[in-house]
Amino acid sequence: MPDTDRPSPGDGFHTIPIQINNNEYIPDRQRELILQNTRGGCCNRDVRNQPQANAVGAAALIFVSGGLHIAWSIGFDSLFAELEVTNHVRICWFTAAIIGALLGGFFSRKFPYKILMEFCSLLTVISGLVMSCTKLNLNALLTARYLNGFANGLALAPTLAMAGELTVFYKRGTTTSAAEQWPTTIGMFVQIVFSVSWDQESDFTEEQFQGVLTVILGVIAFLFAFKTSIESPVDLLEAGQEQAAIDALSRLQRPQTVTAETYDQVSDHRSYLSHNSSLGWTHAFPALLRLTLLRFLYGVSSSTMVAFTVYYTSMRVYGGSSGPFVLFGLFRLIGSFSCAFALDTLGRKIPLLLGLVIAGGLSFGIASRFAGTGVLPYGNMRMALWLLLIFQLFAGIAFAPLSSYLSEAFPRKIKRQCIAISYVVEMLAQLLICQVDLGSEVSGGNPIALFFFSSGSFLLCGFLTSVWFMPETKDTTLLQAQIKFQKFVIPQPESRPLNSAQTTPRYS
CA distances from 357 to 105, 227, 362, 397 (A): 31, 42, 9, 11
pLDDT computed for residue 475 by the predictor? 87
More confident residue, 463 or 80: 463
What span, in angstroms and rounded, lies between the C-alpha atoms of 430 and 445? 22
pLDDT of residue 240: 85
Secondary structure letter of residue 376 according to DSSP: P
Closest CA to 184 of 395, 409, 468, 437: 395
- Using DSSP, state whether 100 is helix, strand or coil: helix
Q: pLDDT at residue 19 above 50? A: no
326 neighbors 459 (Cβ within 8 angstroms): no
Which pLDDT tens digit goes with each residue over 315-331?
Answer: 888 887 888 999 999 99
Is residue 158's pLDDT more than 70?
yes
**DSSP E strand stretches across 66-106:** none
Percent of the chain scoring above 90 in pLDDT: 52
φ/ψ (deg, to 5) at 137: -120, 105
Q: pLDDT band at residue 495, thresholds of 50, 70 and 90? A: very low
344-360 confidence digits (pLDDT tens): 889 999 999 999 999 99
Task: Give me the pLDDT at residue 201, please.
Answer: 75
Task: Please state, in angstroms and rounded to a whole number, the distance separating the CA atoms of residues 247 and 241.
Answer: 10
Tens of pLDDT, residue by residue over 287-308, are 999 999 999 999 999 999 999 9
pLDDT confidence tier of residue 183, bands split at 50, 70 and 90? very high
pTM score, whole prediction: 0.86
pLDDT band for 152, please (50, 70, 90 cuts).
very high
Residue 506, pLDDT > 80, answer no
- Between residues 43 and 317, which one has the greater pLDDT? 317
Q: Which residue has the higher pLDDT, 48 or 496?
A: 48
Rounded to the nearest 10 degrees, what angle do helices 304-318 and 323-340 cross at?
130
Phi, psi of 19 (to 5 degrees): -80, 125
CA distances from 255 to 26, 49, 232 (A): 25, 10, 19
Residue % of the chain over a pLDDT of 70: 84
CA distances from 67 to 71, 137, 170 (A): 6, 21, 28
Give 210-257 pLDDT, tens digit per residue: 999 999 999 999 999 999 988 889 999 988 888 888 888 888 888 877
pLDDT at 20 over 50: no
- Domains of the chain listed by start with CATH number: 45-230+278-485 (1.20.1250.20)
Return the pLDDT at 177.
Answer: 93
β-bridge mates for residue 19, sequence order: 25
342 to 172, 196, 283, 503: CA distances (angstroms): 11, 31, 29, 25
Across residues 156-166, what is the average pLDDT?
Answer: 93
Query: Which of 9, 29, 73 lies closest to 430, judged by CA?
Result: 73
What is the mean predicted confidence (pLDDT) over 397-407? 94
Return the pLDDT at 42. 63
Phi, psi of 442 (to 5 degrees): -110, 105
Tens of pLDDT along 130-151?
999 988 888 899 999 999 999 9
CA distance 8 to 476: 10
Bridge partners (DSSP) of residue 25 are 19
Q: Where are the alpha helices (DSSP H) in 370-413?
A: 378-399, 402-408
- What is the full DSSP assignment across 220-289? HHHHHHHHH----HHHHHHTT-HHHHHHHHHHTSSS----HHHHHHHHHHHHHHHHHTT--HHHHHHHHH
Dist CA 20 CA 15 (whole Å): 16
Q: Averaged over 261-287, what is the pLDDT?
A: 86
Asked whether residue 81 carries a pLDDT value surpassing 80, the answer given is no
Say if residues 301 and 362 touch (Cβ distance below 8 Å).
no
What pLDDT does residue 46 have? Answer: 74
Q: What is the pLDDT of residue 135?
A: 84
- Angle between helices 206-228 and 57-73 in degrees, nearest 10: 160
